[in-house]
Amino acid sequence: MGRIPLRPSPAGHELLGLDTLPDWDQVFGMPGPLELEIGCGAGGFAIEHARRHPKSRCVAFEWRKKYAREVAFRGEQAGLKNLKVIEGDARLEVPRLFKPGSLCVIHLQFPDPWWKRAHQKRAILQPDFTRYLLTLLTPGGRFDFRTDVQDVGERGIKALEAAGFHNPLGPGVFHPSDPEEAPSTRERRYLASGAPVYRARLVKP
Ligand SMILES: C[S@@+](CC[C@H](N)C(=O)[O-])C[C@H]1O[C@@H](n2cnc3c(N)ncnc32)[C@H](O)[C@@H]1O
């Protein structure tokens, strides 16, 4: 995406700074299960997942404008009425957008590993935010977590379990790969090279 110019229209800005929670039936023009993706990057998963699941309503957050606008543009070009991309910091904006128990699935794929200790506060799975994400899911709702970094995977599962998510495979156990799942942009690279991907699929009890 390096050479693509920044598209002028901000993605999903009409959903930022609202006084009340949005009515998602109105936003999408249809009812249906609501899914959240945090950090969609170049959008490989968001676009393909929305295409494969036309009845699901997918909200994808990305704080890098270039990516967010490009994914929104590609979604529109593909006629995906069930995908909404929002450019912004998910940690700040998600609490203004979803009511508790309203989400069916949360996707977090290949989050930045933030190697430096000083940067680790930028990680998505901070204890408070992880507990908060649990409240947004409906009972039985899923957390889909994927990474190429084993240590990030292990810490991620621990953080999710500590927040109250249930791991049906047993504590700390990764989920096997699922050919039905749409791969993310990064994941495609690892699948092509044979590099390992660590997955977790936890549920809200
Ligand atoms: C390593 S990339 C992975 C992108 C994509 N999920 C994939 O698998 O191809 C992580 C993405 O998360 C985005 N990101 C990180 N923190 C974010 C936040 N707080 N809000 C929105 N996006 C965020 C980054 O800009 C980056 O595009």
The model's pLDDT over 71-130, given as tens digits with 9 standing for 90+, comes to 999 999 999 999 999 999 999 999 999 999 999 999 999 999 888 888 888 899 999 999
Whether 3 is in a domain gets the answer no
**Single-letter residue type at 23:** D
Whether 24 is in a domain gets the answer no
Whether 4 is in a domain gets the answer no
Instruction: Please give the Cα distance from 56 to 163 (Å, whole number).
Output: 26
Q: In sequence order, what are the beta bridge partners of 34?
A: 57
Q: Which residues of the chain have a pLDDT value below 70?
A: 1-2
Residue 87: CATH number of its domain? 3.40.50.150
State the distance between the two ends of the chain, measured CA to CA, in whole angstroms: 39
Distance 124 CA to ligand 1 centre (A): 9
**SS3 readout for the chain:** CCCCCCCCCCCCHHHCCCCCCCCHHHHHCCCCCEEEEECCCCCHHHHHHHHHCCCCEEEEEECCHHHHHHHHHHHHHCCCCCEEEEECCHHHHHHHCCCCCCEEEEEEECCCCCCCHHHHHHCCCCHHHHHHHHHHEEEEEEEEEEECCHHHHHHHHHHHHHHCCECCCCCCCCECCCCCCCCCHHHHHHHHHCCCCEEEEEECC
Whether 27 is in a domain gets the answer no
Quick one: which of 128, 144, 136 has its CA closest to 180? 144
Which of 25, 89, 112, 151 is labelled catalytic?
112
Per-residue confidence (pLDDT) for residue 1, from 0 to 100: 60
Whether 154 is in a domain gets the answer yes
Per-residue confidence (pLDDT) for residue 60, from 0 to 100: 98
Distance 39 CA to ligand 1 centre (A): 3
Structural domain total, the chain = 1
Whether 175 is in a domain gets the answer yes
Could you tell me the residue range of the domain that residue 140 belongs to?
Answer: 13-17+32-203
From residue 185, how far is each of 48, 95, 166 by CA, in Å? 10, 26, 27
Q: Which of 15, 64, 114 to mutate to test the pocket of ligand 1 (most atoms within 8 A of CB)?
A: 64
Per-residue confidence (pLDDT) for residue 4, from 0 to 100: 75
Whether 81 is in a domain gets the answer yes
